């Protein structure tokens, strides 16, 4: 089907060159007639064959003859290849718009031309005490059967809105990278948001009981507490004295805080939270659950908005 190949190519060239527009019109007429089982009146298919085979004929008449006899089949093969390529391209464009990755919801380490640095899919995984960029793979992330109310509430939500669970590490780069745009989108969404601390750095593990106690003693200040942790420097977040001073600013009584931190109920709740994270299949941060849908890595705002609408 040389007419179809010519139509695609000449339609593109016709955008930039007036000399190709007439050829594009002839190609369209030829394709239309072939689809309706009519011959090309303009002889356009013969003209295109001549243009394509002319250079080959000059170099090797034998090869040109072989190509001429099989031209229709070769043309259909090229059309099929163009069709498959177009489908994969359209799929990649949609996936990038919808998920921030050419591969869809989960990036499997493959190159994406729209995100060559893979910045939308990077996450921090636990490996000893270090923050490391984990190679992302499709995993069974799920909040099915998980009691999300054991995690502190970052934001109250309206009835009918999806529940959002943000799993993050307050001192690690990709959670901090995702937070500014995510904060804005969540505020506009009016969805209920809870925060689960997944400390991939050992220096921030001490914050686990602090999270519980802020939620217990001053639940209305938890959002501000988390915001300060994620917007100040990692060095401040890993400094216990800084966090103690922050809690004083937020109005927490030191005696009540100390009692809460040492309480057995706090220890049990921290253990329950960490067990729940293991059951969810968390392997890196940030991981955001919007309803039942999991997103790993700092996604573009449009991805969060699409799922929250």
Q: Give the predicted TM-score (pTM) of the model.
A: 0.73
What does the mean pLDDT of the chain come to? 79
Listed residue (195, 121, 199) closest to 163, CA to CA: 195
pLDDT band with cut points at 50, 70 and 90 for residue 129 = very low
* Containing structural domain, residue 95: 2-99
Q: Is residue 105 part of a domain?
A: no
Q: Give me the half-sphere count of Cα atoms (radius 13 Å) on the Cβ side of residue 307.
A: 24
Listed residue (147, 286, 153, 149) closest to 214, CA to CA: 153
pLDDT digits (tens, 9 = 90+) for 95-127: 888 887 777 677 666 677 667 766 677 777 755
- Number of structural domains the chain divides into: 2
Give yes or no: residues 141 and 174 share one domain.
yes
- At 161, is the secondary structure helix, strand, or coil? coil
Gap between the Cα atoms of 202 and 197, Å rounded: 12
Q: Is residue 117 part of a domain?
A: no
CA distances from 121 to 102, 132, 135, 167, 177 (A): 11, 14, 9, 15, 12
Domain boundary among 83, 99, 115: 99
pLDDT band with cut points at 50, 70 and 90 for residue 180 = very high
- Has residue 135 got a pLDDT over 60? no
Residue 119 phi, psi (nearest 5): -70, -25
pLDDT at 14: 43
Does 87 sit behind a cis peptide bond, omega within 30 degrees of 0 on the bond before it? no
Give yes or no: residues 175 and 33 share one domain.
no
pLDDT digits (tens, 9 = 90+) for 187-220: 998 899 999 999 887 889 999 999 999 999 999 9
Listed residue (270, 265, 262) closest to 208, CA to CA: 270
Q: Is residue 304 part of a domain?
A: yes
Give yes or no: residues 215 and 264 share one domain.
yes
Strands of 193-197's sheet, edge to edge?
Answer: 153-155, 193-197, 164-168, 287-290, 293-296
pLDDT at 124: 78
Give yes or no: residues 92 and 235 share one domain.
no
């Amino acid at each position: 089907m040389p007419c179809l190949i010519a139509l695609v190519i000449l339609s593109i060239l016709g955008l930039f060159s007036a000399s190709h527009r007439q050829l594009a019109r002839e190609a369209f007429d030829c394709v239309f007639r072939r689809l309706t089982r009519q011959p090309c009146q303009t002889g356009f298919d013969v003209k295109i064959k001549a243009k394509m085979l002319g250079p080959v004929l000059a170099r090797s008449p034998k090869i040109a003859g072989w190509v001429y006899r099989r031209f229709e089949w070769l043309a259909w093969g090229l059309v099929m290849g163009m069709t498959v390529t177009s489908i994969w391209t359209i799929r990649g464009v949609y996936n990038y718009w919808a998920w921030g990755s050419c591969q869809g919801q989960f990036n499997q380490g493959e190159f994406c031309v729209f995100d060559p640095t893979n910045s939308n899919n990077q996450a921090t995984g636990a490996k000893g005490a270090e923050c490391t960029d984990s190679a992302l793979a499709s995993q069974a992330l799920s909040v099915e059967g998980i009691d999300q109310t054991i995690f502190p509430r970052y934001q109250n939500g309206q009835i009918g809105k999806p529940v959002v669970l943000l799993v993050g590490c307050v001192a690690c780069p990709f959670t901090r990278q995702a937070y500014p745009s995510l904060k804005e989108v969540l505020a506009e969404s009016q969805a209920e948001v809870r925060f689960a601390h997944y400390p991939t750095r050992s220096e921030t593990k001490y914050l686990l009981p602090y999270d519980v106690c802020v939620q217990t003693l001053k639940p209305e200040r938890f959002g501000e507490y988390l915001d300060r942790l994620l917007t100040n420097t990692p060095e401040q977040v890993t400094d216990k004295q800084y966090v103690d001073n922050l809690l004083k600013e937020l109005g927490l009584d030191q005696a009540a805080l100390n009692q809460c931190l040492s309480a057995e109920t706090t220890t049990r709740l921290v253990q329950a939270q960490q067990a729940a994270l293991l059951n969810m299949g968390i392997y890196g941060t940030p991981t955001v659950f919007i309803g039942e849908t999991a997103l790993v890595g700092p996604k573009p705002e449009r991805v969060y908005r699409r799922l929250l609408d």
